[in-house]
Amino acid sequence: MALVMTNEMLTKARNGHYAVGAFNVENMEMAMSVAAAAEELQAPVIIQTTPSTVKYAGLSLYYSMVKVLAEKVEVPVAIHLDHGNSFSLAMQALRLGYTSIMIDGSQYLLKDNITLTKSVVEACKPSDIPVEAELGKVGGKEDDKDGGSGGYTDPEEAVIFVKETEISSLAVAIGTAHGVYKGEPKLDLERLSQIRQKVDIPLVLHGASGLSDEVLTESIRRGISKINFATQLRIAYTDGVNKQLKEQPGTIDPKKYGTVAMDSVKQFVMQCMHTCGCVGKAK
C-alpha cells in the first residue's frame, strides 16, 4: 500500500474512540519492526522521524525506507516529521514526500507560535498535507530541545490557536514529559477533557513512554487520537542487542543482534497498539 496521510487516519480514530500509535524510529531495524507489528495486527500506523534522526541519516534515506516498507504491507502507513524545529526542515520534508508534518513552536509566545505554525500550514495546504502543532510545552528532553518541567495547554488559547492556524491535529501538554519519567507522572486529565470540548480536531499525546496502560486508555477516552512512543522503542532495541551480546559475546554479525532487537521492538509496538485500541482498525 502506498504511504497515506494522517488526517483521515486520525479522524477515523477520533470518531471510533481509539488512538493510532506513532513510533519514532532510529534505524532500518526499528522501522521494519513497526511495519511488521502493524501488518500482523492489521493496525494503521505512523512512523516518525525527529530532527536528530534526520541529522543522523538524512530525510531522504528515512523517507525511502518507510515508503518501501509501506508498499510491502496491506495496512495504512504514514511517515511523519515529529517536532519539526524550523520552517526550513518542514519544507524539506514536504518536498520530499512526507505525508504528515509537525511544526513545534511551543517554546514561543502564543502569537509567535501562531505565526510559525500558520506559515507551515499555508505551505502544506496546496498538497493537502496535514500539519500537527504543539501548544503548551511537553516537559523533558526531545532531541536537543529541553522542555524542562513543561507548561500546560490553556483550553481557551487552544481555541484561538486552532482557529488561527487551521492545523489538522493538536499536541497537548497535560503533564506528560519526553524521556524516562522520574517518579509517577500526574496527568491533568480534566484539562484534556476541557480541551476536547472546545477543540474539534484530533488531539495528540506526546511523552507516552512509561505511562500506564490505564492512563493511556483514559486519555483516549477523553479525546486523544494519536499517541507518540519514542524512548521505550530505544530501550527495547538496546535491550535486544544487549541480550544477544550477553548470551553470545562473540557475535560480530549485526544481523544476529539486529534480529533479536527487532523482535524486542516488535513486541513492544504490538503491546502499544493493543493499548491504543487500533488493532484490526486497518480493515
Provide the annotated active-site residues: 82
Which residues, other chains included, contact 246 with Cβ-Cβ below 8 Å and sequence gap of 6+? Answer: none
Which residues, other chains included, contact 32 with Cβ-Cβ below 8 Å and sequence gap of 6+? Answer: 69, 262
C-alpha angle 205-206-212 in degrees, rounded to nearest 5 = 75
- Distance separating alpha carbons of residues 24 and 235, to the nearest angstrom: 12
